[in-house]
Structure 1
Amino acid sequence: MIKVDNVSKKYGSFTALHSIDLEIGNGEFIAVLGPSGCGKTTLLKLLAGFMGPTEGTISMDDTVLASTKRVLPPEKRNIGMVFQSFALWPHMTVAEHVKLPLSYHPNKVKEGKKEMQERINEVLKLVGLAALAERFPSELSGGQKQRVALARAIAPLPNLLLMDEPLSALDVELRMEMRKEIQKLHRETKASIVFVTHDQGEALAIADKIVVMNQGRIEQIAPPEVLYTRPETEFVATFVGKCNLVKGQWRDDQFVPTIVSNTIWPDLGVADSFKESGIYPVRPEQFQLMPAQSEGLQGIISFVQYQGHEIHYTVEVDEETWTIHESVFAPRFHTGDFVGISLKNAPVQKGALISS
């Protein structure tokens, strides 16, 4: 168990992290998600031991790793690290990259050369590089280099594996393949993983739990499905996937959009912060389009994008612009069409105006 307790980090007058609290369970895969400058890399550096906190403590299994008075250096922590730039040594072979941490890591193999070679072979086989053991980095592709970086990090069996945007230097198809590889390594090694990324699709795809950060603070911590379907703040709703923030009034767990007063939406799990702001968050796929009717929500299609399995519509509704995703098997609409809009999975309730 890794525990981050009330940790803040300041650089002069600038506060990069504000009172961060986080627990990482044994074998848990955590993605830290947020825009550039939100503090996610600072948090990773604190976990790695590259610097100490201005306030608070970081502990692993009841042992304090960092406080305002003392910071245990990286080489004395039971961690592995995978960098965005791979950080491979050009003069060392693939096998030598794996051998190095086995010699110097706190979890280093204490047996003889035979046992160490067996571990090297085991790790290279795990990441699919057994046939490339004697090659140098200059002879490897981008994906192979990333596998070397992963192999080096997991070789000494660390309790915590830190990854700083490890897939950002790869092309789209290779990123998809490496996501599977990282998930496989997680199952095999059973290490706790902290995976820093700004790619919300990546975080949703591979993590057990996602930490969403913004301006040095944690906005929400939740499993991917909960984070997507029940965001707690406007930032989470709009940063993790697309979201339409519909304005209106909340009364007795019912919502009336400002745009049209004869339509009522029920509470489908909307967070209190949205209710206090008079907002109903709606994901693009939660809306349904239909031919224009004489009452209810109306809009006009301003833009259409074909996406293979979906059609993405931009719809002008009064003075607002909404994004709506429909299946390719649903009725098709075109730019300039007038359409009716309803909320899926919500009973149709009309005519019950909520007064202010």
Structure 2
Amino acid sequence: MATEIKNITKFFGKTQALKTINLSIKDGEFIAILGPSGCGKTTLLKLLAGFDSPTDGIIMIDHQNVSEKNNSTPPEKRNIGMVFQSFALWPHMTVKDHIKFPLLHHQFLANDLKNNIEKRIDEVLNIVELQTYANRMPHELSGGQKQRVALARAIAPKPALLLMDEPLSSLDAELRMEMRREIQSLHRMTGATIVYVTHDQEEALAMADRIVVMNNGQIQQVGTPREIYRKPNTEFVAKFVGKANLIHGKWLNEVTFKPYSVSIQSNWMNIEVSSDLRAKNLCPIRPEQFSLSYTGEGIEGEIMNVQFQGKEIHYTVNIGSDLIAIHEDSQNKPFYIGDTVYVNLNQKNNVPSLITI
């Protein structure tokens, strides 16, 4: 079901946690709310869930006003499901009982589910691949299995809106990758509308239909993962998502950039960036869009740090005015700390073209 967030603000005393938030969420859409700690993303999720009310503005779920100033429909009276960071499983209930509980108590349960509870439990166990674990207790499960139980409990009553609060942050790296695939599969199978809060840009880029990037209680940009990564609107989005290098220089027109470097005699052409970045005379270039060489006409710099990352080597290069990050294929000839190098745009990665002046 469609969800509308209109002019939402939230104060805690004199501290403003949310500043005029507007967002439309389509039926069946997977939305990731991405941002650093303290940016307001969890506060927004709590307002959607009904755990708190806004200072101003309204929230509509399926054309029903569920939140406004000093008035909030409680969570149990909203057609939502919730997956918590800590799993929040009941230690005295089996896996099957966790799935059965919302089927007995969810206010918006459809009649076909009410009349076929055991069938729905079997369906959900099959979806999360826990058929053989139905009678296990939480302490008998692994971390990944516990997360599946939390997901199963949330989707069992087929809620209109499924809210996830950093559900993978307590898992190790391998399990997080596995659970990303599980959540994507679950979304495809159920068609649920999902709002997923995370500080992990890789999770957001990998799973979401659209990403909402937040900072300091405001929405910085909303777009598809490709749009957010390739065309950041603000300096914050460029740095936070994908860790772009913000090169200082001068915009000669809307698509031509001249880097400030005495060692480079080329303009960078056919670059599309936001007016905000152009006004600040900044050009965002991703680490993989640069390449290194010992000779050339690029920006001269010195290797300051080297990190081997398997398929890539991550370099930090001092170009005088800035430290920039560059990711190179580990199969390439390596560079070493202290080396003098030249930084060039990598023509293989759909980067701007150059013209020599």
TM-score by length of 2: 0.94
On the 8 A contact 1:102/1:109 being kept in 2, the answer is no
Cα distance between partner residues in 1 of 2:156 and 2:31: 20
2:309 alignment counterpart: 307
Unmatched segments (≥5 aa) in structure 1: 352-356
How many angstroms apart in 2 are the aligned matches of 1:296 and 1:30?
A: 40
- Partner residue in 1 for 2:27: 26
Match of 1:76 in 2: 77
Flag the 1:343–1:142 CA change in 2: closer, same or farther, 3 A: same
1:37 maps to 38
Matches within 5 A, 1:253-264: 253-260=255-262, 262-264=265-267
Question: Would you say 1:271 and 2:274 are equivalent positions?
Answer: yes
Decide which moves more: 164-173 or 331-340: 331-340
Cα distance in 2, alignment partners of residues 103 and 329 from structure 1: 58
Moved more, 327-336 or 192-201: 327-336
Structure 1 CA distance, aligned partners of 2:6 and 2:26?
A: 14
Moved over 6 A (4+): none
Instruction: Write the distance in 2 (CA, Å) between the matches of 1:17 and 1:41.
Output: 10
> In structure 2, how many angstroms separate the alpha carbons of the residues matched to 1:223 and 1:34?
15
1:228-239 alignment, distance < 5 Å? 228-239=229-240
Q: For residues 175-229 of structure 1, what are the alpha-carbon distances to aligned partners after superposition, in whole Å with 9 as ceiling and x for unaligned?
A: 1111111011101110100000111111111111111110100001111111011
Q: Return the alpha-carbon distance in structure 1 between the equivalents of residues 122 and 231 of structure 2.
A: 45
Instruction: In structure 2, give the amino acid aligned to 1:44.
Output: L
* Deviation, structure 1 residue 256: 1.1
State the match for 2:180 in structure 1: 179
Q: Give the counterpart of 1:349 among 345, 348, 355.
A: 355
- Residue identity matched to 1:279: L
- What are structure 2's unaligned runs of at least 5 residues? none
Name the residue aligned to 1:318: 320
Question: What is the CA–CA distance in structure 2 between the aligned matches of 1:46 and 1:225, rounded to whole Å?
Answer: 28
**Cα pair 2:55 2:70 within 8 Å, conserved:** no
- Structure 1 residues 328-347: aligned runs within 5 Å: 328-345=330-347, 346-347=352-353
What is the number of residues matched between the two proteins?
A: 350
Q: What is the distance in 2 between the residues matched to 1:149 and 1:202?
A: 18
Verify the 8 A CA contact 2:269 2:354 in the aligned structure 1. Answer: no
TM, length-normalised to structure 1: 0.94
1:159-238 to 2 correspondences below 5 Å: 159-238=160-239
Query: Relative to structure 2, which stretch is displaced further, 167-176 or 300-309?
Result: 300-309
| Secondary structure class of the residue paired with 1:211 | strand
- Whether 1:145 aligns to 2:146 is yes
Q: How far apart are the structure 1 equivalents of 2:221 and 2:271?
A: 19
Closer, same or farther in 2 for the Cα pair 1:194/1:316, shift >3 Å?
same
Q: Give the corresponding residue for 1:13.
A: 14
| Structure 1 pair 45–229 and aligned structure 2 pair: CA distance change class (3 A) | same
Number of the residue aligned with 2:157: 156
Could you list the per-position Cα deviations for residues 257-312 of structure 1 after superposition, in whole angstroms to 9, with x for gaps in the alignment? 1123622111422111111001111110111212223x442112222222111121
Q: Distance between the aligned counterparts of 1:114 and 1:247, measured in 2?
A: 65
1: CA distance, partners of 2:354 / 2:168: 45
Task: Work out whether residues 263 and 297 of structure 1, in 8 Å CA contact, stay in contact via their aligned partners in 2.
Answer: no
* Alpha-carbon distance in 2 for matches of 1:148, 1:333: 48
Residue 111 of structure 1: CA displacement?
Answer: 5.7
Does the aligned pair in 2 maintain the 1:292–1:338 contact within 8 Å? no
Name the residue aligned to 1:286.
Answer: 289
Structure 1 Cα separation of the partners of residues 63 and 109 of structure 2? 22
C-alpha distance in 1 between matches for 2:15 and 2:99: 39
Counterparts in 2 of 1:232-251, with a 5 A limit? 232-251=233-252
Q: How big is the alpha-carbon RMSD for the aligned residues of Structure 1 and Structure 2?
A: 1.6
Q: Structure 1 residues 82, 205: closer, same or farther in 2, change over 3 A?
A: same
Q: Which stretch of the first structure deviates more once superposed, 270-279 or 254-263?
A: 254-263
Q: Distance in 2 between matches of 1:109 and 1:118?
A: 14
CA contact (8 A) 2:221 2:233 kept: yes
Instruction: Assess if the C-alpha contact under 8 Å between 1:103 and 1:109 holds in 2.
Output: no
Query: d(CA) in 2 for partners of 1:136 and 1:306?
Result: 42
Q: What secondary structure is seen at the aligned counterpart in 2 of 1:348? A: strand
How far does residue 112 in structure 1 lie from its aligned partner after superposition? 8.7
| Structure 2 counterpart of 1:102 | 103
Per-residue Cα deviation, 1:42-94 (whole angstroms, up to 9, x for no partner): 00000011111111100022211111153211111111000001111111111
**Contact kept? 1:51, 1:71, Cα under 8 Å:** yes
